[in-house]
Amino acid sequence: MTETSMRRKRIAGKVLFYIVAIAIAAVVCIPFFWMIITSLKSRGAVMSIPVEWIPKEPTLEAYQKLFSIPNFASSVFNSFYISIVCTIVRLVCAAMTAYALTKIKFRARDGMFKLYITALMIPAQITFIPLFIVMTKLHLTNSLNAFIMLQLFNAFAIFMLRQKMMTINDAYIEAARIDGASHWKIFWKIIMPMCSGTLATLAILSFMDLWNDYLLPLVLLTDQSKYTLPILLSTLSGQYKNQYNLMMAGSLVSIVPILIVYICAQRYFKEGLNVGGVKG
């Protein structure tokens, strides 16, 4: 086989790969595209036959009606509040725990980490009833701040950050201690910047988890003014179940923040996902 034929074969292989990749991407994006165009249709155009893939008269009527629904705007604010504040608290607490479990020597350190790992095996759903009882006795039900307390312990985040911190050479810490740096300063000035990729990955996963969480807010919140966006959107399938443009508009509003967060931190995402393979 000549060099020219080999080059043509490689080019043909690349062209075929890109054609298949574009086709798969187009198929995956069709539901998202349909959601967008449906949200821009009037109620009558949604049910028109044949289907309008491009709205003849696009309108923001669905979005105007969506934000006029009682407590919708407050539910968006509640979701942002829980997602952002709880993500920050989760990452900081998990990072401090991981630092103690990797860089500070004390008795029962390994046993404590095994206890944390055990928590990963417990389904979250079976803790809802005892959690509700505890929160009721503490008078923390129907409060957004109750979700912040639940972020003080997150086994998955601790595991990921511990795996990353195990790859950081102790020589950095020893050099800082010689210069008189405290553990607190070492943690913020050395360890945290070196874990930026893992922190970004966990920030995306945590934000998505908290933003899309439905069951826990449903258990702890009773006042409609405290509802998060997923709970409020679930009510649209009742009163507004035939208004598909309104439901698609609500779904799009719930997706946009996640897309923005992922786009802003995607360059760290791949690096952070590789951390879980580090031998512990």
- Looking at residue 272, its pLDDT comes to 55
Domain boundary among 46, 61, 76: 61
CA atoms within 13 A on the CB side of 96: 11
Sequence-distant (≥ 6) Cβ neighbours of residue 266 within 8 angstroms:
none
CA–CA gap between residue 165 and residue 159 (Å, rounded): 10
Q: Are 166 and 280 in contact (CB under 8 A)?
A: yes
- Looking at residue 278, its pLDDT comes to 45
Domain boundary among 61, 81, 97: 61
Do 128 and 248 fall into the same domain?
A: yes
CA–CA gap between residue 97 and residue 183 (Å, rounded): 13
pTM, rounded to two decimals: 0.81
Q: Are 86 and 151 in contact (CB under 8 A)?
A: yes
CA–CA gap between residue 172 and residue 26 (Å, rounded): 47
CA–CA gap between residue 232 and residue 237 (Å, rounded): 10
- Look up the domain containing 213 and give its range: 68-277
Task: Look at the chain and report how many structural domains it folds into.
Answer: 2
- Looking at residue 280, its pLDDT comes to 43
Element (H, E) at 274: none
- Looking at residue 277, its pLDDT comes to 46
Do 23 and 82 fall into the same domain?
A: no
Q: Are 83 and 207 in contact (CB under 8 A)?
A: yes
Do 166 and 40 fall into the same domain?
A: no
Do 192 and 251 fall into the same domain?
A: yes
Do 183 and 219 fall into the same domain?
A: yes
The one-digit pLDDT tens for each residue of the chain (280 residues) are 577 777 878 888 888 999 999 999 889 888 888 888 888 887 666 666 676 777 777 888 888 888 888 888 899 999 999 999 999 999 999 999 999 888 888 888 888 888 878 877 888 788 888 888 888 888 888 888 888 888 888 888 888 898 888 888 888 888 888 888 888 898 998 899 888 888 888 888 899 899 988 888 888 888 888 889 998 888 777 666 677 788 888 888 888 888 888 787 777 666 555 554 444 4
Do 37 and 121 fall into the same domain?
A: no
Q: Which two tokens stand for residue 254?
A: 């719930």
Q: Which CATH number goes with the domain that contains 171?
A: 1.10.3720.10
pLDDT digits (tens, 9 = 90+) for 234-247: 877 766 667 778 88
CA–CA gap between residue 199 and residue 7 (Å, rounded): 43
Do 55 and 141 fall into the same domain?
A: no
Do 56 and 77 fall into the same domain?
A: no
- Looking at residue 48, its pLDDT comes to 67
- Looking at residue 211, its pLDDT comes to 92
pLDDT digits (tens, 9 = 90+) for 74-100: 999 999 999 999 999 999 999 999 998
Do 42 and 78 fall into the same domain?
A: no
Do 131 and 263 fall into the same domain?
A: yes
Q: Are 190 and 172 in contact (CB under 8 A)?
A: yes
Do 74 and 153 fall into the same domain?
A: yes
Q: Are 246 and 232 in contact (CB under 8 A)?
A: no
Do 9 and 89 fall into the same domain?
A: no
